[in-house]
Amino acid sequence: MRLIDYLDKGASLGAAAPCLRMGAVLLSYGDVQRFSYRVARALQRSGIAPGSKVAVLSGNDPVAFACVFGLSRAAAVWCPINPRNEAAENRYVLDAFDCSCLIFHSNYAPLVEQMRADLPKVTTLVCLDKPQPFAPSLDQWLGDAGDASIDVPVVDDVAMIAGTGGTTGQPKGVMLSGRNLEAMSALTLMGYPFEGRPVYLALAPLTHAAGVLCLPVMALGGQVVIMPKPDLGEFLGLIEGHGVTHTFLPPTLIYMLLQHPQLADAKLDSLQCFWYGAAPMSAARLEEALQKIGPVMAQLFGQTEAPMMISMMSPRDHFNNDGTVARQRLSSAGRPGPLVQVGVMNGDGALLPTGESGEIVVRGSLVMLGYYKDARATEEASRHGWHHTGDIGYLDTDGFLYIVDRAKDMIISGGFNVYSAEVEQVLMQHPDVQDSAVVGLPDEKWGERVVAVLQPHAGRQLDVEEIKAFVKSRIGSVKAPKQIEVWLDLPRSKVGKVLKKEVRAALLSDGEGQRRP
């Protein structure tokens, strides 16, 4: 299935049914379908051929998201551009991915104006909401493009090119095929509860996980309620007001939600599935969420190269057969999906037995086609016939996958391997800690010492020595932090992941790297 096929499938179940909603704006499936025909014809008229790359630069917006289906209708390739990126990164992405058209919101017109002189490949600029001196508005560009049916055969199976985070250099372009997204959608529908027509609330960016999760919802003729900006009070109100059945938040926002004063009185009975992912979640906070939000929490683990569903933990997997919380597996990433092969590999390419830690590797139709115009990176990521995730983990005897760290985040202290994620899980059990980041810093005695940077809950004070003892009593002195710093907030990526590279750099620049325990 192409991207457009999910819209058409939903429309076949009722063209008058609500499709995309934000505030007072409501577009039915028929509205979005007709709009997609107009966008496809306008792209053709602008010389955008099948297989061309079309970028969309906007915050969460129903018209911007509807444009994605128009470009798919024209057999173009969607390149989602993160509006939170700096100009240099977006300029690089637009050029490296060979984008010939950029559709953008006027909020980002200054950014486009700053970049456009250095984008010779971009021949068509369109502003979604109002004309710019250098670009027509969407209405002007669409003009008299008719909404009669149009079907353009695809050149190949590339549906979208998504940029990696760029935390280890320039972003790479992950080529995701229609088959990749079909596998992801199938796994979603197989692994999680869907009763009736779903109502999906998208608070997280549609340029990331929140966007592709719309596809299985639309295949069922469901409604997507879009939030233009994060507001947890409004989020809770929309769940009740629209009978939201499915939603997704990264752990950082869930931690904030658990402390929100409106949560206790919120009516969340309509929820069937509250996905969490994009970063590891504290087992202690997860158990709190099961109590305060309900038995609807659902984990997903994936990455851009194998979107969303490498492994899954449905709401029922969070509980034992007797109804008690399954504390023993709350720190897992669930079980590998039924359409995915997952293994654990050592550095020599040998698959390891159950219980042994190594790099998590994946293969199957969920895995990307490769990196755009980067054969070397593609070859490196697919060594030994498996996609290499860069995550260290193991599988237990029940088939649950545990991620113990990113390979690059492992700390070697006194000759022992210390997995930062394990230390963070313990730190997050402390009632005064809202979030944490554990890194290794150079140390004359230990080689590297374990350093924790903690973000306290609002209004609470952290006793550093008490927290050191708290961790030591649970996982021993080798893994306990030798040094603890308290920050009011932690640096995060655009999708809420704590940026350990920045944490470590800040500690070193402050002279912390020279301090001894």
pLDDT reported for residue 137: 97
State the Cα–Cα distance between residues 366 and 16, nearest whole angstrom.
32
Q: What b/e readout covers 221-241, taking b as 16+ CB neighbours within 10 angstroms?
A: bbbbbbbeeeebeebbebbee
Q: Which residues of the chain have pLDDT under 50?
A: 167-168, 512-517
**Helix/strand/coil for 462:** coil
**Paired tokens of 487:** 């920050």
The angle subtended at Cα 399 by Cα 396 and Cα 404, nearest 5°, is 50
State the Cα–Cα distance between residues 354 and 350, nearest whole angstrom.
13
Are 405 and 420 spatial neighbours (Cβ–Cβ below 8 Å)? Answer: yes
Distance of CA 86 to the CA centre of its chain: 19
Place of tokens 């070859």: 379
pLDDT reported for residue 516: 31
pLDDT reported for residue 147: 84
Q: Where in the chain is the domain with CATH 3.40.50.12780?
A: 180-406
Cβ-based neighbours of 189, under 8 Å, separated by 6 or more: 216, 219, 220
State the Cα–Cα distance between residues 127 and 42, nearest whole angstrom.
14
pLDDT reported for residue 494: 65
As to burial, measured by CB atoms within 10 angstroms (0-12 exposed, 13-18 middle, 19+ buried), residue 460 is exposed
State the Cα–Cα distance between residues 403 and 395, nearest whole angstrom.
9
Distance of CA 496 to the CA centre of its chain: 9
Cβ-based neighbours of 47, under 8 Å, separated by 6 or more: 123, 124
State the Cα–Cα distance between residues 288 and 181, nearest whole angstrom.
32
State the Cα–Cα distance between residues 218 and 18, nearest whole angstrom.
10
pLDDT reported for residue 136: 97
pLDDT reported for residue 415: 67
State the Cα–Cα distance between residues 125 and 139, nearest whole angstrom.
13
Please give the CATH architecture assigned to the domain spanning 413-514.
2-Layer Sandwich (3.30)
Helix-, strand-, coil-residue percentages of the chain, each rounded to 5? 35, 25, 40
Distance of CA 114 to the CA centre of its chain: 28
| Nearest of 221, 213, 326, 211 to residue 273 by alpha carbon | 213
State the Cα–Cα distance between residues 249 and 256, nearest whole angstrom.
11
> May I ask the CATH class of domain 25-156?
alpha beta
| Nearest of 294, 214, 292 to residue 248 by alpha carbon | 214
Torsion sign (Cα): 461, 465, 471, 474: negative
| Nearest of 417, 360, 361 to residue 392 by alpha carbon | 360
As to burial, measured by CB atoms within 10 angstroms (0-12 exposed, 13-18 middle, 19+ buried), residue 13 is middle
Could you confirm whether domain 180-406 is CATH 3.40.120.10? no
Residue 138's DSSP bridge partners are: none
pTM of the model: 0.84
| Nearest of 119, 125, 123 to residue 138 by alpha carbon | 125
Distance of CA 291 to the CA centre of its chain: 25
Place of tokens 């340029």: 207
DSSP 351: B
Residue 468 CA: distances (Å) to CA of 264, 285, 480, 489: 32, 20, 6, 20
State the Cα–Cα distance between residues 286 and 294, nearest whole angstrom.
11
Q: Where in the chain is the domain with CATH 3.30.300.30?
A: 413-514
Q: Where in the chain is the domain with CATH 3.40.50.980?
A: 25-156
pLDDT reported for residue 82: 84
